[in-house]
Structure 1
Amino acid sequence: MIQEPVPMLLGRVLLRAVRAHAALEGRCHLPPSLHVGIPGADVRSLELDTGEGLDLALRTEMLEAMTRAHLAQSVVPLVWLTRHPEGPDLEDLAWAAAAGQAGAELGVRLDLVVVTRRSWRDPRSGVGRSWTRLRQP
């Protein structure tokens, strides 16, 4: 769970995730997707079907599988969902619970954030940032 004050390096990584999502999405609405990795570097992504009704065990297994390659390289990845701002909050919490469970089983802390075109937010703590206009680096 991300708490205030957000470490500067983590804040930069999350801003990079927001910028990347905004650049990909443009004016169209992409389907919700799960991402594991380091934004702007090695990322594994999976498009989600919100009608699938995945349970905690399956979500946890999916996250563990997506995370193992990073952990094998001694890198603890970030987990994030990209979606339209008016997406389902319950789905966010379900994935956050799975990230917590997967992290516990793998022996690491996995943070999950929800990323939209203009913001990021930790669904468990409510900590996040939003921008009205993003500047490219």
Structure 2
Amino acid sequence: MATGPGIQEPLPSLLRRVLRGAVRDHALAERRRTHPAVLHVGIPRGEVRRLELGPDDRFDLALRTEVVETMARHHLAEGRVPLVWLTRMPDGHDEEDLAWAAAVTAASGELGVRLDLVVITRRSWRDPRSGAGQVWARVRPDPQA
């Protein structure tokens, strides 16, 4: 379900490679059948701040926004605009994804930069705001690697 701005097709080739790499990295790193959702803020394959989200964690919009802002400030102080991504299992969490997207949008306004959020599973990425995304049957190693 798309709700507005966000990542739009066609993607720049660098962003497409970064997102594919983030999916591949998640698939390689997370081998458990069930695993918690994790919020990541940073540069994939670079410096990343993570917050594991427990099944009983309850965040309202204000707290989610503060979490995103706090995690993003270090990168912004270093002159880098981070990507925000949520890794999780592929079952439907549309409401949760949209709640984090709203927080990222609010944090963007407060920080004065455009932050993007993608949801990453072992075989896909998707922007919950725009609906843009990609799914793979199997994520293979990068041909340039």
TM-score normalised according to structure 2 size: 0.91
Distance in 1, Cα, partners of 2:55 & 2:21: 25
Q: Point out where structure 2 has 5 or more consecutive residues left out of the alignment.
A: 1-5
Higher relative contact order (CA 8 A, sep 6+): 2
Mapped pair 1:5 → 2:28: no
Deviations 1:105-134 (A, max 9, x none): 000000000000000000011000111111
Shift of 1:27: 4.4
Q: Identity percentage over the alignment?
A: 64
Equivalent residues, number: 137
Aligned residue runs from structure 1 range 23-102, under 5 A: 23-102=28-107
| Pairwise CA distance, 1:2 | 0.3
* TM-score (normalizing by structure 1): 0.96
Mean Cα deviation higher: 75-84 or 24-33: 24-33
Structure 1: how far apart are the matches of 2:37 and 2:56? Answer: 11
What per-residue deviation string (whole Å, max 9, x for no partner) do you get for residues 43-101 of structure 1?
10000024322110000000000000100111000000000000411000000000000
- In the other structure, the counterpart of 1:113 is 118
C-alpha separation in 2, matches of 1:37 and 1:87: 25
Moved over 4 A (4+): none
SS of 2:56's partner is coil
Q: What are the superposed Cα offsets for residues 3-53 of structure 1, whole Å, 9 maximum, x if unpaired?
A: 110111111111111011101112432200100011111110000024322
SS at structure 1 position matched to 2:74: helix
Q: Aligned partners of 1:84, 1:8: CA distance in 2, in Å?
A: 26
For structure 1, list consecutive stretches of 5 or more residues without a partner in the other structure. Answer: none
Amino acid across the alignment from 2:90 = P
Residue 29 (structure 2) pairs with residue 21 (structure 1): no
